[in-house]
Amino acid sequence: MSLVTTPTLNKGTAFTYDERTRFDLHGLLPLHVETLDDQVNRAYQAYLRKQDDLERHIYLRQLQDTNEVLFYRLVLDHIDEMMPIVYTPTVAQGCQLFSKIYRRPRGLFISYPLRDRIPELLRSRPNREVDVVVVTDGERILGIGDQGVGGLGIPIGKLALYTLIGGIDPARTLPIVLDVGTNNQELLNDPEYLGWRHERITGKDYDEFIDQFVEAVKDELPNTCLQWEDFATPHARPILQHYRDELLTFNDDIQGTAAVALGVVLSALRVSGGSLKDQKFVFLGAGSASIGVADYLRQALVVEGLSEEQARSQFWIVDKDGLLHSKRADLSAEQQVYAQNAESVADWPKTFNGTIGLADVIGKVDANVLLGFSTVGGAFTEAIVREMARKVARPIILPLSNPTSKAEAKPDDLIRWTDGKALVATGSPFPPVKHGESDIFIAQCNNVYIFPAVGLGLVASGATRVTDGMLLAAAHALAENSPALKNPTAPLLPVLTDVRKVAVEMAVAVGVAAQNEGLAPKTNLAALRSNVISCQWSPEYSDVDLSDVDLLEEVEVTQ
């Protein structure tokens, strides 16, 4: 029974007759022996019988908790159809209803009341060897806010993508939620809520808890990549800055989002023929993800030959209180980098609650690139988009907020308002847009294009730290593989069915950067590529080796 209830080892009806004899499985399984292909077909038919996306999400999660090989093979075979179910946008609903649809444990719950036992909690992990940990505190889940312990759905989904796209062995991944309470009153009032029923801890208590967690990770999992996910703006960047030089770690919302956005901008410029250093960038939203994207674009501009001052001057960032400028006293140190000189914008229109809003900026700036991180659905209005398209030949418009309802604009509107001139990518998936006789395919500017490949590159190269240079290398490799370079109606980013192959190229780029920065053992390019490919796990059944599975020590093997 231990074999058939361990998802990383279970083959279900595909256990052979000999295996059933060796492991005393006769009688526990139907007589007929199926192939993996048979199982995939049967699982897909069951999937199709589900009535809505949430039910499909629940079905796939149950399959993942039952038979991981079958789960990953099924999703890989139907990746276009199932990616939005496994992750965005359906995962948002899964997080909101986490306590109501909870079935069985996956990952670790590290709760504040157990803060003095964190090393012990980490030792409770189901698998000893771990390559990648994804951790969240559930405070800023996608565009839906504080979900408390329900935020664990994000690390679970992210790690599934590490395996699907990057090929990280699922038995070497670990999702974690730091349960530090919740300020979501609806959850606190819900009798079914499974987390710690307490307002979020803050200040020194929070910082000390994070430090206890990191120290435990360093001791228990010293060579593991730790990815921070969906932390609120006041915590996300300080945590990254504090710990990035102490262990192998990065923040996907800051660095992963930045890298994929840079990749899609570079792809669009290859299509339009524009030069990066000539672009003017307007952002709606000034949170950690937005500033992270600006940072990577700015670094790329400096590489192109601009000075720091010149590069900074090409950014206009608007938040809920209007344009960031030098006389605003509410800006963080990271936001101040992009504050426009207040005197230079003093005579600009102020039609947004008495401040300079997005429409005012677009009216005064010949913006080439418009990026949305606001989670305000429909914020890119027709008037704004038409004004932008009037002044530049091929506007690059990226409504990147998730989930779909939070997108700043819909692609079909953007294509229609610009008469097909706009180069568009979105945060959530959208169908192709009909324009004239052509179908224009819309790239989903999702971090799935970056973090799985980065993880693969880190594991394969043996890197000891994660740097911006590695993420920038991944972004350039992504742009070099844009299908739009060959077909103008193709999406700016590779189709999902090709991403696993493209991940190899990006992982190699990450490994090369790690070696060049002295953060990974030096090898030649051929050896690095070979190691990247050999590190990619594939969903195929293999022989069961009981000697490596502590969980199955009590299974009596029949020789």
Q: What is the CATH number of the domain that holds 159?
A: 3.40.50.10380
- For residue 428, the model assigns a pLDDT of 83
Q: Active site residue: 47, 87, 206, 449, which one? A: 87
SS3 string of 129-143?
Answer: CCCEEEEECCCCECC
The helices-and-strands tally (H runs, E runs) of the chain is 23, 14
Residue 505 annotated as lining a ligand binding site:
no
Same domain, 100 and 239: yes
Closest CA to 290 of 246, 348, 331, 326: 331
Using a pLDDT cut of 90, give the percent of the chain over it. 91
- Please report which confidence band the pLDDT of residue 238 belongs to, taking 50, 70 and 90 as the band edges: very high
Residue 413: inside a domain: yes
Please write the tens of the pLDDT for every residue from 487-509.
988 999 999 899 999 999 999 99
Residue 71: inside a domain: no
Interior angle at CA 367, CA 362 and CA 371, nearest 5: 85
Question: How far apart are alpha carbons 4 and 25 in whole angstroms?
Answer: 9
Residue 38 annotated as lining a ligand binding site:
no
Residue 230 annotated as lining a ligand binding site:
yes
- Packing angle, helices 496-516 and 79-86, rounded to 10: 70
Same domain, 325 and 223: no
More confident residue, 306 or 555: 306
- Please report which confidence band the pLDDT of residue 552 belongs to, taking 50, 70 and 90 as the band edges: low
Question: How far apart are alpha carbons 493 and 88 in whole angstroms?
Answer: 17
* Token pair of 422 as six digits: 């706009």
Phi, psi of 419 (to 5 degrees): 55, 40
- Assess whether 87 carries a catalytic annotation: yes
The DSSP letter of residue 489 is: T
Determine the structural domain holding residue 489 and report its residue range: 449-535
Same domain, 221 and 281: no
Same domain, 205 and 94: yes
Calculate mean pLDDT across residues 69-88. 95
Dihedral sign, CA of 41, 43, 49, 55? negative
- For residue 546, the model assigns a pLDDT of 60
Residue 402 annotated as lining a ligand binding site:
yes
The domain tally of the chain equals 3
Same domain, 92 and 197: yes
Same domain, 242 and 260: no
- Amino acid sitting at position 342: A
- Assess whether 158 carries a catalytic annotation: yes
Residue 330 annotated as lining a ligand binding site:
no
Residue 34: inside a domain: no
Residue 197 annotated as lining a ligand binding site:
no
Residue 519: inside a domain: yes
Calculate mean pLDDT across residues 471-485. 96
Residue 230: inside a domain: yes
Question: How far apart are alpha carbons 406 and 378 in whole angstroms?
Answer: 8
Please write the tens of the pLDDT for every residue from 349-383.
999 999 999 999 999 999 999 999 999 999 999 99
Same domain, 438 and 313: yes
The DSSP letter of residue 552 is: G
Q: Active site residue: 158, 206, 243, 449, which one? A: 158
Question: How far apart are alpha carbons 463 and 187 in whole angstroms?
Answer: 40
Residue 547: inside a domain: no
- Amino acid sitting at position 28: L
- Please report which confidence band the pLDDT of residue 547 belongs to, taking 50, 70 and 90 as the band edges: low
Same domain, 282 and 406: yes
Question: How far apart are alpha carbons 99 and 101 in whole angstroms?
Answer: 6
Q: In the listed set 398, 427, 444, which residue is the last one of a domain according to the structure? A: 444
* Token pair of 386 as six digits: 């038409």
- Please report which confidence band the pLDDT of residue 315 belongs to, taking 50, 70 and 90 as the band edges: very high
Same domain, 354 and 396: yes
Q: Which residues, other chains included, contact 374 with Cβ-Cβ below 8 Å and sequence gap of 6+?
A: 284, 285, 319, 320, 401, 408
Closest CA to 379 of 447, 442, 289, 285: 285
337 neighbors 302 (Cβ within 8 angstroms): no
Same domain, 308 and 363: yes
- For residue 558, the model assigns a pLDDT of 40
253 neighbors 290 (Cβ within 8 angstroms): no
Residue 277: inside a domain: yes
